[in-house]
Amino acid sequence: MDVLGIDIGGSGIKGAIVNIKTGEFVAERHRIDTPQPAKPEQIAETINLMAKHFDWKDKIGCGFPAVVQNGIVKTAANIDKSCIGVNANELFSKATKCKVKVFNDADAAGFAELTFSDLKSIKGLTIFLTIGTGIGSAFFKDGVLIPNTEMGHIYMKNGLIGEKYTSDAIRKEKDLDWETWSKRFDEYLNYLEKLFYPNLFIIGGGTSKKFDKFQSFLTIKTEIKPAKLLNNAGIIGAALLAK
């Protein structure tokens, strides 16, 4: 069975038709810039454009950069605040004339990793982080997803919010080289390590493709590795959850 998976980010909205049995893309991934400001109606229209690009008329799964409970948006960090309280399931379904289900973006990406990697066999706590415009998180306890964690929004000891200190957007904004940025990221990881004592960190999002550029600078004791599905995990997970 194929499902259109869409990953809504702070800077870009990416989509692809996904074979949910294999996790493979049936058609080449397509990207559209996230509308600015990222208000509900504008996001809905962009999702409709994505569906039209693939001439899609069936189920759609969307990863959304917010806490999402039963399709209702509860937070808005890297999107417009007017998204809070919106029933995204209903809004996006109406815009596309397809059945759309919306989930937290990091949960979707983490669920894809859970399905197509060895996460199910890992005992204890795994923390999955997506590093992009912001920082998303997904927790897995003994291979079971704990939804809607927001570790990018925690306050660190330096008084700054995690994603405002060490997201990939901050790296680009401040033109930090990888070594300098990795020290910030390492500080953030050490903070999470002392709070939760996880068995494993997995790094997803756009930064996962550059893992070799900063891995050697990290000092945490917890095992850390890049996501198997890299930056495609959000699309694949959204499609899986939609089914």
Q: In DSSP terms, which residues pair with 94 in a beta bridge? A: none
The predicted model gives 66-95 an average pLDDT of 94
Query: Is the confidence at residue 206, as pLDDT, over 80?
Result: yes
Residue 36 φ/ψ, nearest 5 degrees: -125, 120
Q: What is the average pLDDT across 73-90?
A: 94
| Residues 6+ positions from 192 with CB-CB distance below 8 Å | 127, 151, 198, 201
User: In this structure, what token pair is assigned to residue 113?
Assistant: 């990793």
Residue whose C-alpha is closest to residue 238's, from 28, 84, 87, 13: 13
Q: In this structure, what token pair is assigned to residue 146?
A: 């704990």
Tell whether the model's pLDDT for residue 217 goes beyond 90.
yes
Instruction: For residue 12, give the H/E element and its range.
Output: strand 12-19
Span between the terminal Cα atoms of the chain, in Å: 9
The predicted model scores a pTM of 0.89
Report the DSSP beta bridge partners of residue 72. Answer: 69, 87
151: left (phi over 0), alpha (psi -120 to 50) or beta: alpha
> What pLDDT was estimated at residue 168?
94
pLDDT of residue 131: 93
Give me the pLDDT at residue 9, please: 87
| pLDDT, average across residues 179-204 | 96
**Residue length of the chain:** 243
- Is residue 15 over pLDDT 90? yes
Q: What is the 3-state secondary structure (H, E, C) of 93-158?
A: HHHHCCCEEEEEHHHHHHHHHHHHCCHHHCCCEEEEEEECCCEEEEEEECCEEECCCCHHHCECCC
- Domains of the chain: residue spans and CATH: 2-107+233-242 (3.30.420.40), 121-227 (3.30.420.40)
Mean pLDDT of 139-145: 90
Tell me what percent of the residues of the chain surpass a pLDDT of 70: 100
